[in-house]
Chain A
Amino acid sequence: MMGKHENKGMARPQIQSLDSNPYVAPRRRVTSKLSGPALSQITIQAIEICQAIQSVESSVTLIADKATMVRVYIDQTSLAGGVQLRGELKVRKTATGPATYVPALEDLAADPQDATKLIDKRNLTGASLNFRLPTTVTAAGALLVEVNRIWPAGGDDAMFGGVTSSTVEFVYGPPLRIRCIGLRYVDTGTGQTHTPDAVHFAYLRSFLERAYPVPSVDWSQIVVEANFAAPFNDQTVLRANAQIAAIRSSEVDNGMDPRTHYLALVDDARGRNFMRGRAMGIPDAAAPDTVASAPCGVPNGFAGDHDLSYADWYGAHELGHTFGRFHPGFPAGTQDASDPDFPFEEGQLSDADQKFVGYDLGDAGLGIRLQALAGTHHHDLMTYAERQWICAHTFEAIRTRLIEEDRQFDPAIV
């Protein structure tokens, strides 16, 4: 991928203010009426069970034991007046099995004047009743999700109809096994030593847990001395990857799980020493020994990123290569189009039909909030485009490769 201080590769960010982002608009407030109006029957438009990326039909594979949210969309035009709606789900493995009751994360500020179409509601987390499923119900197998209750805050249960239940299947997925190695180097020009900050490890780990098609990340990290120094040149990333490959070989020889992917992080010294990331290979079959290196630092708008680290999506991109993912070819002219099967225009998460929406279920430990990521406004992490997340194509492909890697070593691992 391309650095912000080079004139090639990934386009430098066109920083967009948050206010101009139609999906980060201030939330609409509706005056709460504690007793609420008399509710006619509420019509439920759809139930969507989502993880990192999903269609309203829940067509993207659901990974067992991965963080999962249920969205219940209500036709608000059927309401008599503005009201805070609350909800409760009933979920169970079979129609006659024991149920778990799940409360909504927060009230839905419903407004009968709101005629937002379902397709647009999906891009706003505040436009649905949202439920976080407990991990006890997301084991592999079927899950029956039913709307159990809806009621106005302080009022009685309302009648509801429409789509009141959905049955989905959770499938087993192997964990992502990552050994992340920070390479500490000396800048011979300044005499300073540069080490990746803790935040970069934390952001990358969290992003992989949130976006990748895995139930969990088996993560370990360490910082070691780099076998190179700054100023960097075109050979630096090769030396970093050779060092990571050597560390990997010695650790696997000493018992490390051979399915573990190794990734190096190299601090960019506040932009002064940017090492463009590289994966050494895009294997067309399971090859978890494919190594990769990525830069890390504070993004300051790099690729539309305004948080504390770009190690997350950048590292996820390089790791994507190690799982056999090629470039979709976007933005055009900045990236080879080596993935001829990439299905979405402009490298987006979805075509203009907005079939797919990305879901970042957040990370309280890092202050990352729950977000719906509009499919036409965000781009797949294998692109060089802005605002990166994982699309359904990449999600399913990495899931398949993870299973292949898991099986490859099955006989050797008890």
Chain B
Amino acid sequence: MVDDLASTFAHVIANIDTASGEGSIDYVLPSRKRTASNMFAGPAPDKAKVRLVLKDAAGKEIGSVRPELRFEACDDGRQPHRALIQQDVELSDDLASVALEFEGKVVDVFHPEPVPPIGEQFRNTAEWGLPLPGNPDKLAVGTHAVEPQAGVSYMVQAKPDNSDQWQTLSVGKSTPDFVIDKNQFPGASSLDVRVTQNAGFKQLTVEEKTMKLDE
């Protein structure tokens, strides 16, 4: 099963050190709704000149956001200078890359490459619930056959049969191979497992299956 989940936003998680100017874009997660609350709350965007710059395929700026900087607490009483960015960015057809910019200088760029479909390769090679040698509570899910690719990450989520909530077990992994610890789902007898590819600004369900936990 390959399912294109229509995404409206990308949730950009990045970090920036406003003292050194260093930082990185850590995760870009396509989503169907806003998952950050900074459109409602938090201090006004700071004056540190941090921007997320949205660009098209030609490198032309098509938009920008001044993200809320969430400075770390418990920083020895010094002026906090390291911040996390949790910013929802609205997607458009033209969007090709996101740059993290500090005082006009590009710190990091998320620029996904075109992605070939992996559905068939995944289905042909993936394990679904094979116990790890010597550790029967840990189950292998996915495949090592898929090569890492820039701008592509994988996520595995699970929903036990005694809950309605999908739980994220791994996010931002460069290859779709995972280990699921069935002890994390007390009282469940089966588990819906979903492997998702975050490819650029699109989210694709690579495969979704139900695994028995009491076998």
Interface residues of B in 1-37 (CB under 8 A from A): 11, 13, 15, 26-27, 29, 31-33, 35-37
Measured between C-beta atoms, what is the minimum distance from A232 to chain B in Å?
15
Q: 1/0 per residue A235-260: CB within 8 Å of B?
A: 00111011101111111111110100
In the complex, A41 has a CB within 8 A of chain B: no
B42 touches A255 (CB 8 A): no
A100 to B32 CA separation, bound complex (whole angstroms): 51
Question: Given that A224-B170, A246-B13, A250-B155 are contacting pairs, would A256 and B41 also be in contact in the complex, using a CB cutoff of 8 Å?
Answer: no
Contact of A254 among B26, B37, B38, B165 (CB under 8 A): B165
Q: Is the CB of B170 within 8 A of A281?
A: no
- Complex Cα distance, B37 from A283, in Å, reads 11
With an 8 A cutoff between CB atoms, is A403 at the interface?
Answer: no
Residues 316-351 of A, flagged 1 when their CB comes within 8 A of B and 0 if not, give 001001000011000000111000000000000000
Residue of B whose beta carbon sits closest to that of A221? B184
- B184/A223 in contact, CB under 8 A: yes
Is A279 close to B, CB under 8 A? Answer: yes
A251 touches B73 (CB 8 A): no
How many angstroms from the CA of A174 to the CA of B114 in the assembled complex?
A: 46
Q: Check if B31 sits within 8 Å of A287, measured CB to CB.
A: no
State how many residues of chain B have any CB contact under 8 Å with chain A: 43
The yes or no answer to B84 lying at the interface (CB within 8 A) is yes
Residue of B nearest to A320 (CB): B73
Q: By the criterion CB–CB under 8 Å, are B83 and A280 in contact? A: yes
Task: Name the distance in Å between B104's Cβ and chain A's nearest Cβ.
Answer: 24
B31 and A249 form a contact (CB under 8 A):
yes
| B43 touches A (CB below 8 Å) | yes
Decide if A285 touches B166 in the complex (CB within 8 Å): no
Which label, helix, strand, loop or mixed, suits the secondary structure of the B interface?
A: strand
Among B36, B41, B165, find the residue whose CB has the most chain A CB atoms closer than 10 A. Answer: B41
Partner of A289, one of B36, B71, B75, B167: B36
Q: Inside 8 A of A282's CB, which chain B residues have their CB?
A: 71, 73
CB atoms of A287 and B181 under 8 A apart: no
A335 and B41 within 8 A (CB): no
Are B41 and A246 in contact (CB-based, < 8 A)?
no
B76 at the interface (CB under 8 A from A): yes
B23 to A, closest residue via Cβ: A238
Whole-angstrom CA separation of A241 from B167 in the bound complex: 17
Q: Are A249 and B29 in contact (CB under 8 A)?
A: yes
Shortest B184–chain A CB gap in Å is 5
27 contacts between A and B (CB under 8 A): A223-B184, A224-B169, A227-B172, A243-B171, A246-B168, A246-B171, A247-B171, A249-B13, A250-B171, A251-B166, A252-B33, A254-B165, A254-B168, A278-B73, A278-B74, A279-B73, A280-B70, A281-B83, A282-B71, A283-B43, A286-B41, A287-B38, A289-B37, A289-B86, A290-B70, A327-B74, A408-B40
Kindly state whether residue B72 has any CB partner on chain A within 8 Å. yes
Q: In the docked arrangement, what's the CA distance between A283 and B11, Å?
A: 19
Q: Provided the pairs A241-B84, A242-B26, A250-B155 are in contact, do residues A408 and B73 lie with their beta carbons within 8 angstroms?
A: no
Question: What residues of B have a CB within 8 angstroms of the CB of A157 in the complex?
Answer: none
Name A's B-contacting residues (CB within 8 A).
1-2, 8-9, 220, 222-225, 227, 237-239, 241-243, 245-256, 258, 276-291, 318, 321, 326-327, 334-336, 408
B157 at the interface (CB under 8 A from A): yes
Q: How far is the CA of A2 from the CA of B31 in the complex (A)?
A: 36
Q: CB-CB < 8 A to A286: which residues of B?
A: 37, 40-41
Residue contact B72 to A284, C-beta cutoff 8 Å: no
Whether the Cβ atoms of B70 and A242 lie closer than 8 Å is no
Chain B contacts of A248 at CB under 8 A? 35
Residues of A near B72 (CB, < 8 A) are: 237-238, 278-281
Task: Please determine whether B43 and A252 come into contact, CB atoms closer than 8 angstroms.
Answer: no
Q: In the complex, which residues of chain A have a beta carbon less than 8 angstroms from the beta carbon of B11?
A: 246, 249, 253
Chain B residues near A8: list those with CB within 8 A: 76
* B203 to chain A: closest residue by CB: A253
- For residue B164, CB closer than 8 A to chain A, the reply is yes
Count chain B CB atoms within 10 A of each CB in A225, A290, A334 and give the residue with the most: A290
A335 and B35 in contact, given A241-B84, A255-B165 (Cβ under 8 angstroms)? no
Q: Within 8 Å of chain A (Cβ to Cβ): is B82?
A: yes
Task: Take A246-B171, A283-B42 as given contacts and tell me if A251 and B86 are in contact as well, using a CB distance cutoff of 8 Å.
Answer: no
In the complex, the answer to whether B31 meets A253 with C-beta atoms within 8 Å is yes
B84 adjacent to A242 (CB under 8 Å): yes
Q: Which 5 A-B pairs have the closest CB atoms?
A: A281-B70, A336-B77, A285-B41, A280-B84, A287-B41
Bound form: Cα–Cα A23–B26 in Å:
49
B181 and A223 contact, CB distance less than 8 A = yes
- Indicate whether B140 reaches chain A with its CB closer than 8 angstroms: no
Q: Which residue of B lies closest to A321 (CB)?
A: B73
User: Chain B's nearest CB lies how many Å from the CB of A280?
Assistant: 4
Residues of B close to A290: CB separation below 8 A: 70
* Residues of chain B in range 69-104 having any CB-CB distance to chain A below 8 Å: 70-77, 82-84, 86
B42 touches A335 (CB 8 A): no
Check: B107 CB closer than 8 A to any chain A CB: no
Q: Which residues of B contact A335 (CB under 8 A)?
A: 77
CA distance A398 to B37 in the complex (A): 18
Q: How far is the CB of B9 from chain A (nearest CB, A)?
A: 9
Interface centre among B43, B74, B167 (most CB of A within 10 A): B74
- Asked if B41 and A408 make an inter-chain contact with CB atoms under 8 angstroms apart, the answer reads yes
